[in-house]
Amino acid sequence: MRALPLALTLCLALAAPVAGEIYRWTDDAGSVHFTDSLQNVPSRYRSQIQTRSDKLPDAPARPAPAPASTPRVALERLDGGYVVAASINGRETARLLLDTGASTTLLSPRLADRLGLTVRRVPPAVLRTANGQVEAGWAEVDTIEVGGRRVGPLRVVIHDAIEGADGLLGLNFLGAFRVEIHAQGPSLTLSPP
């Protein structure tokens, strides 16, 4: 049961709205911050904010052409959530917890090492958790694929994952599709939006 509170913490840490403006600013220490409310941007940084409509460094997820059919992908239950098998860069299969509250996909440092990813820490990825702010590294992956649905390139956060999973599958992947979770099976369907 230790994994569930951590998963909920990470959900809160990476949460972002599906629609609406996202504001970005850099503080005096060089840390990059994101928020969905202009009121959360300190007044002294408001003159430098960028919105999602500006060209932010994170490119939007680009789904690959969809297969003709929409297959159901098997899910595994894990502490009240669901884990799905995902292919990272076409060479490593990872167990990722579905997290529709996380704006960004998270991979464990161990998985990042197996993939040979270059983990960057400048600027740091800033996670806001129930226990406060945490800085983490980030990396770029060429593709993430689930059930024949591929998205990439993507930026991912590199941070410890919950026990029993290699990371979290967030909205920078899931947001490219219409997502259906079926209790029977359980299974997942990813359809074009």
Q: What is the pLDDT of residue 8?
A: 35
The predicted pLDDT at position 164 comes to: 92
Q: What is the pLDDT along the chain (193 residues), one digit of tens a residue?
A: 444 333 433 443 443 333 345 666 677 766 666 666 667 778 887 777 766 433 334 444 555 555 556 789 999 999 889 999 999 999 999 999 999 888 899 999 999 999 999 999 989 888 877 778 889 999 999 999 999 999 999 999 999 988 999 999 999 999 999 999 998 889 999 998 8
The type of residue at 45 is Y
End-to-end Cα spacing for the chain: 34
- Looking from the CA of 192 toward its CB, the CA atoms found within 13 Å total 6
pLDDT of residue 61: 56
Q: What is the pLDDT of residue 151?
A: 96
Length of the chain measured in residues: 193
Domains and CATH numbers, the chain: 3-191 (2.40.70.10)
* Burial annotation 122-131 (CB, 10 A radius, 16+ → b, else e): ebbbbbbeee
Pairing assessment for the beta strands 32-35 and 92-98 based on DSSP bridges: unpaired
- pLDDT at position 17 is 33
